């Protein structure tokens, strides 16, 4: 079973519906024990970084996520769920994150955006693939995916960057990968057929990992 983490913030139903469309079972839970026991984990999210971390810590879900990732449980982070993996965020901060991936979360154009560039970044942008990930299997370079965000991640190690894009002339990491962990700034559940293919690919990764785990 894939656990979609409910910490009081996020687009939970649209993520679950996305998995349903590709025939993958996913259930919403706020129980840390269920998260640790799950075959796969999804951390979605929309909203403020600091408030999200507060909810995760208060519920014990922060440690559950760390435990599951350390155990190499397949993990998918979406939007804020990507940013929360990092060491800290500049959003009303610095604010400490989960520190699973070393790096920072920074704001687009803190000194002012170029003329005609609006913040938040909202819309479709094309991906350029870098480090391979099973979640991006059969996803061609140039695939357009849907973004809604004002901050983006800057990993300390560029090797974890699975895909990049750019906004207003600013290139940034659109997705990262680390073992069975994949996290993206865009919303695959809102990114048409190829976005749903990513959800299907993640479901396949979970199935393969579950079969490989001794009973």
Report which of 206, 130, 209, 122 is spatially closest to residue 175, judged by C-alpha positions: 130
Is 27 marked active-site?
no
Q: Which of 18, 25, 34, 22 is nearest to 2 (CA)?
A: 25
Q: CA 130, CA 190: separation in Å to the nearest integer? A: 22
The single residue of 27, 111, 187, 193 carrying the catalytic annotation is: 187
b/e burial code for range 67-85 (CB count within 10 A of at least 16 → b): ebbeeebbbbbbbbbbbbb
Question: One of 27, 54, 79, 88 is an active-site residue; which one?
Answer: 79
Question: From the candidates 27, 166, 189, 193, which is the catalytic residue?
Answer: 189
For residue 74, what is the DSSP state? -
What are 192-200's contacts with CB under 8 Å, separation 24+?
Answer: 192/144, 194/139, 194/143, 194/145, 195/18, 195/145, 195/146, 196/18, 196/21, 196/22, 197/22, 197/138, 197/139, 198/135, 198/136, 198/139, 199/18, 199/19, 199/21, 199/22, 199/24, 200/22, 200/23, 200/24
- 187 has catalytic annotation: yes
Is 166 a catalytic site residue? Answer: no
Decide if 73 contacts 37 (C-beta within 8 A). no
Active-site amino acid positions: 79, 187, 189
């Amino acid at each position: 079973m894939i656990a979609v983490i409910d910490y009081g913030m996020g687009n939970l139903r649209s993520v679950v519906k996305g998995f349903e469309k590709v025939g993958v079972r996913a259930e919403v839970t706020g129980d840390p024990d269920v998260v640790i026991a799950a075959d796969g984990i999804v951390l979605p999210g929309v909203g403020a970084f600091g408030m999200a971390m507060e909810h995760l810590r208060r519920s014990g879900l922060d440690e559950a996520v760390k435990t599951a990732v350390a155990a190499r449980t397949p993990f998918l982070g979406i939007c804020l769920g990507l940013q929360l993996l990092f060491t800290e965020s500049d959003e009303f901060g610095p604010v400490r994150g989960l520190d699973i991936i070393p790096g920072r979360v920074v704001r687009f154009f803190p000194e002012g955006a170029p003329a005609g560039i609006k913040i938040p970044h909202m819309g479709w942008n094309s991906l350029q693939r870098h480090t391979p990930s099973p979640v991006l299997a059969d996803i061609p370079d140039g695939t357009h995916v849907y973004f809604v965000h004002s901050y983006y991640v800057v990993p300390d190690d560029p090797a974890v960057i699975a895909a990049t894009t750019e906004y207003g002339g600013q290139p940034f990491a659109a997705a990262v990968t680390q073992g069975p962990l994949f996290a993206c700034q865009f919303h695959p559940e809102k990114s048409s057929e190829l976005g749903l293919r990513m959800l299907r690919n993640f479901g396949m990764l979970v199935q393969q990992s579950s079969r490989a785990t001794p009973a």
